[in-house]
């Protein structure tokens, strides 16, 4: 009887030891699974934290604001959508354009902390200004033309643009600045076209003295006035802004 009891206890002990080993094995397997999951989550979070968010800052007037685009996008939002489709990194846009703005108004924005903080963090800066300077210097419209007044307005414009670019470069020496040239909203009036070309030549000369600033011409895009591209006398429509967007994409290599 005693021997039977010892054998029984031995079998029970062996059985318990086997069960204990199985429990330990399950515990270790569970622990390893949790560690693997934890490492996977950490790796995912780490990769997400290293994913760079690209930032576009746009400065300008109603054309950069997108006035006339029935879709509400304008060329700035069109460009953002192109980035979303063609770049892996997420893209945000800070659009500080103001309808009716002139170069002196844009210069005033350089004193705004929010604007300058965005410029400091920008990966790309869009710059489109000047049409309102021409109109305002001529007395509020473009008919009749007063070339002497427009010439005075151009001098002020030139000073303002230089000061704006100086402050942009002081705040952000590296970000590419894409400077859009003016287009003639009245292509059937060569006298206005002459002024537009003159102002574009001045802008291009200014841009050439700054590192990383690219002049992108637009005047050749709308050589024929048509409702296909214009929503009114000056502003583009959805198709017009799409054409402007494609010019920017083709003129500057944004990479992949």
CATH number at residue 71: 3.40.50.1110
Residues 31 and 151 in one domain: no
Output the pLDDT for position 39: 47
- Report the domain count for the chain: 2
Q: How far apart are alpha carbons 170 and 101 in whole angstroms?
A: 23
Output the pLDDT for position 25: 55
Residues 203 and 97 in one domain: yes
Q: How far apart are alpha carbons 120 and 115 in whole angstroms?
A: 9
Backbone angles phi, psi at 77, to 5 degrees: -70, -35
Please say whether the dihedral angle defined by the alpha carbons of residues 190, 60, 248 and 78, taken in this order, is positive or negative.
negative
Radius of gyration over alpha carbons of the chain, in Å? 32
Q: Which domain holds residue 166?
A: 52-251
Output the pLDDT for position 52: 78
| Nearest C-alpha neighbor of 79 from the set 250, 227, 245 | 245
The verdict on residue 92 lying in a domain is yes
Q: 74 near 140, Cβ under 8 Å?
A: no
Residues 37 and 68 in one domain: no
CA distances from 233 to 71, 89, 91, 185 (A): 19, 38, 33, 7
| Nearest C-alpha neighbor of 52 from the set 123, 114, 118, 120 | 123
Q: How far apart are alpha carbons 28 and 23 in whole angstroms?
A: 9
Q: 77 near 248, Cβ under 8 Å?
A: no
pTM over 0.85: no
Output the pLDDT for position 12: 43
Residues 45 and 58 in one domain: no
DSSP code, position 175: S
Output the pLDDT for position 92: 96
CA distances from 132 to 27, 55, 84, 249 (A): 74, 27, 32, 25
Output the pLDDT for position 225: 83
**Tokens linked to 178:** 């894409």
- Contacts of residue 215, Cβ cutoff 8 Å, sequence gap at least 6: 179, 181, 203, 204, 207, 208
Output the pLDDT for position 154: 98
Which pLDDT tens digits describe the chain residue by residue (256 residues)? 444 334 334 444 444 444 544 445 554 455 444 544 454 544 444 444 456 789 999 999 999 999 999 999 999 999 999 999 998 889 999 999 999 999 999 999 999 999 999 999 999 999 999 999 999 999 999 999 999 999 999 999 999 999 999 999 999 999 999 999 999 999 999 999 999 999 999 999 999 999 999 999 999 999 888 889 999 999 999 999 999 999 999 999 998 6
């Amino acid at each position: 009887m005693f021997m039977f009891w010892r054998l029984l206890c031995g079998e029970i002990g062996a059985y318990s030891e086997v069960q204990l080993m199985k429990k330990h094995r399950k515990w270790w397997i569970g622990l390893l699974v949790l560690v693997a999951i934890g490492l996977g989550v950490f790796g995912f979070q780490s990769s997400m934290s290293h994913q760079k968010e690209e930032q576009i800052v746009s400065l300008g007037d109603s054309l950069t604001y997108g006035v006339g685009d029935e879709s509400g996008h304008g060329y700035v939002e069109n460009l953002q959508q192109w980035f979303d489709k063609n770049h892996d990194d997420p893209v945000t846009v800070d659009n500080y354009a103001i309808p009716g703005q002139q170069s002196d108004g844009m210069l005033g924005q350089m004193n705004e902390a929010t604007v300058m903080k965005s410029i400091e963090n920008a990966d790309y800066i869009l710059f489109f200004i000047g049409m309102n300077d021409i109109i305002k210097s001529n007395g509020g419209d473009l008919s009749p033309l007063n070339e002497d007044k427009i010439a005075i307005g151009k001098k002020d414009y030139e000073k303002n643009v230089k000061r704006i670019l100086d402050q942009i470069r002081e705040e952000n020496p590296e970000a590419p600045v894409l400077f859009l040239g003016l287009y003639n909203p009245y292509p059937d009036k060569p006298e206005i076209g002459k002024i537009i070309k003159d102002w574009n030549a001045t802008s291009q000369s200014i841009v050439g003295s700054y590192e990383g600033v690219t002049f992108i011409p637009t005047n050749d895009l709308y050589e024929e006035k048509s409702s296909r591209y214009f929503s009114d006398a000056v502003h583009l429509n959805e198709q017009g802004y799409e054409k402007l967007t494609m010019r920017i994409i083709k003129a500057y290599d944004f990479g992949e």
